[in-house]
Structure 1
Amino acid sequence: MSEHESHFSVWGFIKGFAKLIIGVLLMLQGLIGLVVLILIVGVMVEVTNGIAGNGEKVSVSIPDEAALVLDPNGVLVEIAEDVNPLEVLREEAYGINEPTQIEVHDLVRVLRAAKDDKRIKGLVLDLGAMGASPSSASKLHYLVDEIAKFKESGKKIIAVGDAYSQDQYLLAANADEIYMNDYGNLFIYGYGSYGVYVKSLLEKLKVTSHVFRVGTFKSAVEPFLRDDMSPEAKEANAAYLSVLWRDYASVVEKARGLKPGSVDNYANNLNALLEEVDGDLGKVAVKAGFVDELMSRAEMNDKLKETFGKTKDGKSFKKVSFKRYLTSLDKKDDDSDPNVVVITAAGTIVDGEAPTGRAAGGDTIAAQLRKAREDDKVKAVVLRIDSPGGSAFASDIIRDEVLALKADGKPVVASMGSLAASGGYWIAAATDEIWAAPTTITGSIGIFGYFNTFENTAAEAGVYVDGVGTTTLSPILATGLGPLPPNAADIIQQSTENGYDRFLTIVGEGRHLDKAYVDSVGQGRVWIGEKALELKLVDKLGDFDDATAAAAKLAGLDKYDVVDMKEKRTTFEMFMSNLSETTIAKFGGAKQRHAEGAVAQIVRAAEEQAAFFAEFNDPNAAYARCLTCE
């Protein structure tokens, strides 16, 4: 190699390296600029959403004679996850308006305030973007009661929508007038419980299922053991579903002034009813008395302008969205009264800590209960439960703190939301009183364990496991591609039976019931709230407010503040905790998420399934969870 060629190569390397350094510095500069920009936006969001310099909430102007528009865009939940500010920015930047989580208590708070607010002339129910899980009946009925109270104020209520789902219509039915798009539809199909059963598939794949359970009605593992629903499961499910349907039908028929049986007739005979109107789904809803008028969106807007007055530009009606109105509601400044603290256990009960709104972490809920116990200002606790259960160990950790609160002389009242089953009932059993809604799904007192091994599948492919160990339990190390040792299976079954016995003891002691009686109403069976009252599994029927008043009464309080223990993170805290994850995962894939392809949908389904299995983290592999309730 010549001297010139050597010099050229070295110089080329130096120049290339310099370009690399400059490129890295420019990238860092860009990232720093992005971080600074987001921090500035975060501070702005914090100011507009929260606290002004004097420590008071920033006021939001509400126009006089306006209609409150109840237009929740999301799934109705007991308690919502914190909203990541970066996610909000991303959605706004790309024009995405994805459904979020809507706390039922926020809607109730808005309705109660608006009822007596002279600035609010009426209520518009625009429910097209609201969703509810199959087990959310009590949340919907809670809202129905508040809408009915709003109606008693004499203010007009109008429901508008392109179409109505069954859940949306339960709320809309209470309006004075219901309008629907002339090409819309109303489907009412009742309640059901259906599952996918894979016993034959697992047999074909030569997968070995290992099931450990106690309870005649513990149907959580039936999909792996049968190809159909057992008679016991059908009996239990039909019992609570019939109550949900009865209450749905009675509320709609009363609100609309329909004859008893009208809802049943509509759901069961829609085919025949459609023939009378040439298959027009809109006309059949009007003819059956469920909808008042069919009209276009423009006609609906004109109707609302006529009822509530026009905006200055005349393009729309005078209105305020429920989110804006919620922001305007100032929190009471006087906090001198003793506290009744609300601690919410919502979602699957998992071992360890969990973010609010995603799951009920045993350590997280226990820490909140401990904090309430150590706070001298807290005189009573309402444990709000909206959970199908989960980890038996985590449930017991929560129960221990409930017992500690009671030992310190602070009453604890359980307030059951839509669902308080299995582990959800486990943590309620030790409280001083249990309040449930008539449509609460509860009970499911039972324990199960389940996993698969693939020794036969592997052998079919020519894969085998072999080795040596130092004890009779050592072969458990090979379980998976190897079989589950019989002695290990026996240990797990004994532990499961012990867990069920412990569950019975906990309920018996907490409810002052004979253990044999608890077993007779246990066995993993699900009960509806009104039946649970009859069976002495709950003390009273009522909503969240009734439970709060009961807790205050037990503490001897005439005046008190209701304080939510949920610790809301600031915008800056959410930004810092989500920065790296969001920047990499979300900003890089925002456009793709807006229009997912088939592959992306499959990947997301796989991720959701993985997240589902991640919730099974009990250290003893023992679960008190009602899968069929979810």
Structure 2
Amino acid sequence: MKFLGNVLAVIVGLLVFSVLSFFILAGIIAIASSSDSEVKIKENTVLVLNLDGRNIVERTSDDDFNISSIPGFSAVSNVGLLNLKKAIKTAAENENVKGIYLKAGMVFAGQAMLQELREELITFKESGKFIVSYSEIYSESGYFLSSAADEIYLNPLGGMEFNGFSSEIVFFKGLFEKLEVEPVIFRVGEFKSAVEPFLLDKMSDENRLQTSVFLNDLNDFAITKISESRGLPYERVQEINSQMLVRKNADALELKMVDGLWYEDQVKELLREKLGIEEDDDINSINITTINKSAKSKNTLSKNKIAVIIAQGDIVSGTGEGVIASESFVKEVNKAKKDENVKAIVVRVNSPGGSALASEVMWRALSEAKKVKPVIASMGEYAASGGYYISAPADTIVAQPNTITGSIGIFGLWFNAEGFMKNKLGLTTDVVKTGEFSDFLSFSRKLSDLEKSIYQSNVEEGYDTFISRVSEGRNMSKEEVLNVASGRVWSGIQAKENGLVDVLGNLEDAIEIAAKKVGVEDDYRIVYLPQEKSFFERLMADLTNDVQTRYMHYKLGSFYPVYSEIERIKKYEGLMLRMPYDIIVE
């Protein structure tokens, strides 16, 4: 039987290898053939932005490869914000492109990213070209983006969500009580509520206050933009939103939130009318990847470079994938600092924070780079806690009105698992030590009062350092920083009012500020760091990461957030600078 098992294992291994080899080869051929061919856009072409079910991230490769394109895999497909904006700009400038067909009813992205993309769509309309939006279902985020279109159509039997924002937290207090695990928390700041899920079974009053304030700010901003685009009074849109007056599709049409309840074939007939072609004629369409291949880079011969360093994810020490790893980040900063042709650095921050030590290491690198050339921070979806820490040394901080930022605070987390080990697993421990604190922070016993005081002292010292970094970078007194700190989260609008942000704008605004500071407004090119991975590296990363994540989603269903949070807890080492929790605005 063992021999037979080995034979079967070999056969399965060969089969998997053969399938992977086939798709890798197919990918290489596809990329090679597409890169060699010159893209020519036909007359009367429509750019199709199909974002339904796609996740918008800061950047993806130019070929837009994703594991979801391989048959048999169903991972959520990512699309880069930079690629999307480039495609829309190219479409606006190409006379053969007459308009955009937008399908973004169920797009996955944060409010600040959607706003940045929405701004690009509105700029596109200024070229005199049309945007038509259609979806079977509009989520709140999808409708916010789609409201930039000239006309919005909804499937007659589809659906539309327009009922305001909410943010829900999973609390672990009851779980730890059942497991007999005691979380021990060290923190500074009444609003530093990243640890609340481990201590409470509901939000504290402080956390509820800050969440309510910035959620209302984000919601009011969205309502304002929708009312402007739809030509409806703000008060009316607010009423529709707060009372969820769109309860069936007919309501959306009656309330003028959409222009028609149509099927997609009807929408395509409308596109033919706008293009001036016959009913049976095919619509010339082009996608994001293809139109970007037709784009001509500007100032490619310029020696002057603006380096844009992408910093997206949790902040951790060392190296790693899908995170802002201090060692990798410092390497990119130093590369830009030493390159004489790089005239200024823009750091694109999209992070809820993470390790205090890693944040300090990155702060140091940017502070040193600032002595050599201008450093501008561009905040994306969120730049909170550690994300704000690494933004603090910048000459200018740029954020979107609906960016989530601030959270200037610090915490430490430790677990006493003595009860779990003894009563649940039947395990006991004993120790021999050479000093009083040789087993400092052992998870198999309670901490003494002296040990707690030592750790708390470190937390308070870390908080003082954080305040000093912000005070120095923002030219504010410590007292002024303390007034807006305490771990409180702010919207971009509030952060600007509080002096934590200089300019409300997007990445392009930050780049323009950087170019102006060094006097190269009309003569520079942009380089993005770190460099994109090769096809093979991305394929392997997609196979291991996206598929695993999708599988866990499938296996755990609604319990996936709990699993995800526990996995994150395992990474908490040392002092942490992090947002209260993963803020998902729905």
TM above 0.5, yes or no, is yes
Q: 2:505 corresponds to which residue? A: 542
User: Is 2:259 the partner of 1:292?
Assistant: yes
Kindly state the Cα deviation for residue 248 of structure 1 after the two structures are TM-superposed: 0.6
1:41 aligns with 2:7: no
Question: Given that residues 436 and 541 in structure 1 are in contact (C-alpha distance below 8 angstroms), is that contact kept between their aligned partners in structure 2?
Answer: yes
Query: Is 2:280 aligned against 1:314?
Result: yes
Shift of 1:318: 2.7
Structure 2 CA distance for partners of 1:138 and 1:604, relative to 1, 3 Å: closer
What secondary structure sits across from 1:450 in the alignment?
A: strand
- Amino acid aligned to 1:250: T
* 1:547 CA displacement: 0.9
Gaps of 5+ in 2: none
Q: Deviations over 1:497-553 (max 9, x none)?
A: 111011011111111211122122111011111221222112222211111111112
TM (normalized to structure 1)? 0.83
- Residue 363 of structure 2 aligns with an amino acid whose one-letter code is R
For 1:184-195, what aligned pairs fall within 5 Å after superposition?
Answer: 184-195=158-169
8 Å CA contact 1:42–1:572 kept in 2: the answer is no
Cα shift at 1:247: 0.9
Secondary structure, counterpart of 2:473 in structure 1: helix
Alpha-carbon separation, structure 2, partners of 1:382 and 1:117: 29
Q: How many residues align?
A: 579
Residue of structure 1 equivalent to 2:221: 247
Q: Alpha-carbon deviation of 1:39?
A: 5.7
2:51 equivalent in structure 1: 72
Q: CA deviation at 1:456?
A: 3.0
Residue identity matched to 2:260:
E
Q: CA 1:308 to 1:504, structure 2 compared with 1: closer, same or farther past 3 Å?
A: same
Does the aligned pair in 1 maintain the 2:139–2:162 contact within 8 Å? yes
Segment drifting more, 343-352 vs 432-441 = 432-441
**Which shifted more, 295-304 or 360-369?**
295-304
Gaps in structure 1 of 5+ consecutive residues: 1-15, 53-57, 275-280
Q: SS of the residue aligned with 2:367? A: helix
Change in 2 beyond 3 A, CA 1:539/1:457: same
User: Does 2:148 correspond to 1:174?
Assistant: yes
Distance of 1:200 and 1:606 partners within structure 2: 13
Matches within 5 A, 1:100-111: 100-111=77-88
SS at the partner of 1:219?
Answer: coil
Select the residue among 232, 236, 243 that pairs with 2:206. 232
**Conservation of the 8 A alpha-carbon contact between 1:197 and 1:223:** yes
User: Corresponding residue for 1:350?
Assistant: 316
Kept after mapping to 1: 8 A contact 2:369/2:375 = yes
Aligned to 1:470: 434
Name the stretch that deviates more: 37-46 or 523-532.
37-46
Is residue 2:132 matched to residue 1:158?
yes
Q: SS state of the match for residue 114, structure 2?
A: helix
Cα drift, residue 192 of structure 1: 2.3
Q: 2:515, 2:389 → 1: CA distance?
A: 23
Deviation at 1:38, TM superposition (A): 5.5
Preserved contact between residue 441 and residue 629 of structure 1 (Cα < 8 Å): no
Alpha-carbon distance in 1 for matches of 2:556, 2:353: 31
- Which residue in 2 is equivalent to 1:415? 378
The question of 1:570 aligning with 2:534 is answered yes
Q: How far 1:445 sits from its partner (Å)?
A: 0.5
Determine if contact 2:83/2:288 at 8 Å carries over to the other structure: no
Check if 1:612 corresponds to 2:568: yes
Q: 1:149 aligns with which of 123, 132, 138?
A: 123
Deviations 1:145-203 (CA, angstroms, capped at 9, x unpaired): 22112112221221111121111111221222211110112111212233133434534
Residue 217 (str. 1) matches residue 217 (str. 2): no
Shift of 1:112: 1.6
Q: Is the 8 A contact 1:415 1:543 kept in 2?
A: yes
Amino acid at match of 1:529: G
Work out the CA distance in 1 between the residues paired with 2:62 and 2:313: 15
Contact 2:377 2:398 in 1 (8 A): yes
Pick closer, same or farther for the CA change 1:433–1:263 going to 2, 3 Å.
same
Report the CA distance shift for 1:377/1:611 in structure 2 as closer, same or farther (over 3 A): farther
Counterpart code for 1:147: L
1:113 matched to 2:99? The reply is: no
- Bigger CA drift: 162-171 or 534-543? 534-543
Per-residue CA deviations over 1:243-276 (Å, capped at 9, x if unaligned) read 11111111111111112222222233336x75xx
| 480-489 or 383-392, which deviates more | 480-489
Instruction: Say if 1:232 and 1:29 are closer, same or farther in 2 by CA, change over 3 A.
Output: closer
Q: Which residue, 482, 506, 509 being the options, matches 1:519? A: 482
2:238 alignment counterpart: 264
Structure 1 distance, partners of 2:171, 2:10, is 57
Describe the shift of the 1:159–1:569 C-alpha distance in structure 2 as closer, same or farther (beyond 3 A). same
Instruction: Kindly state the Cα deviation for residue 226 of structure 1 after the two structures are TM-superposed.
Output: 1.9
Q: Is the 8 A contact 1:212 1:496 kept in 2?
A: yes
Deviation at 1:34, TM superposition (A): 6.4
TM-score with structure 2 length normalisation?
0.89
Does the CA contact (< 8 Å) of 2:163 and 2:243 recur in 1? no
Matched position secondary structure for 1:568: coil
Q: Deviations over 1:106-129 (max 9, x none)?
A: 211111221121111111111135
Q: Tell me how far apart the structure 2 counterparts of residues 43 and 76 of structure 1 sit (CA, whole Å).
A: 25
- Structure-1 separation of matches of 2:466 and 2:556: 42
Flag the 1:606–1:269 CA change in 2: closer, same or farther, 3 A.
closer
- Alpha carbons of 1:105 and 1:468: their partners in 2 closer, same or farther (altered >3 Å)? same
Is it true that 1:456 corresponds to 2:419 in the alignment?
yes
* Contact 2:164–2:242, Cα closer than 8 Å, also in 1: no
Please list, as runs of the form range in 1=range in 2, the aligned pairs for 1:381-420 lying within 5 A after superposition.
381-407=345-371, 409-420=372-383
Instruction: Give yes or no for the alignment of 1:622 onto 2:582.
Output: no
Classify the secondary structure of the residue corresponding to 1:509: helix
The SS at the match of 1:448 is strand
Give the letter aligned to residue 182 of structure 2: T
Cα pair 1:308 1:318 within 8 Å, conserved: no
Q: What are the Cα deviations for residues 45-100 of structure 1, in whole angstroms up to 9, with x where unaligned?
A: 341354x4xxxxx4223221111111125112223489996936xx5333x55432
Secondary structure at 1:420's aligned position in 2? Answer: strand
CA distance in 2, matches of 1:387, 1:564: 18
Give the match for residue 92 of structure 1: 70
Inter-partner Cα distance in structure 2 for 1:86 and 1:159: 25
Q: Note closer, same or farther for the CA distance 1:182–1:316 as it changes in structure 2 (3 Å cut).
A: farther
CA deviation after TM superposition for structure 1 residue 204, in Å: 4.7
CA spacing shift, 1:76–1:35, aligned 2, 3 Å? closer
* Residue in 2 that maps onto 1:10: none
* In 2, Cα distance between equivalents of 1:606 and 1:445: 26
Contact 1:389 1:421 in 2 (8 A): yes
Q: Which runs of 4+ in 1 moved over 6 A?
A: 19-36, 81-86, 602-607
Q: Give the match's secondary structure for 1:109.
A: helix
| Percent identity for Structure 1 against Structure 2 | 31
Determine the C-alpha separation between the residues in 1 that align with 2:448 and 2:211: 35
Q: Distance in 1 between matches of 2:203 and 2:175?
A: 16
**Residues 212 and 286 of structure 1: is their aligned pair in 2 closer, same or farther, counting only changes over 3 Å?**
same
Alignment of 1:509 with 2:482, yes or no, is no
Q: Is this contact kept in 2: 1:84–1:574, CA < 8 A? A: no
**1:366 aligned to 330, 335, 344, which one?**
330
Give, in whole Å, the separation in 1 of the partners of 2:117 and 2:362: 29
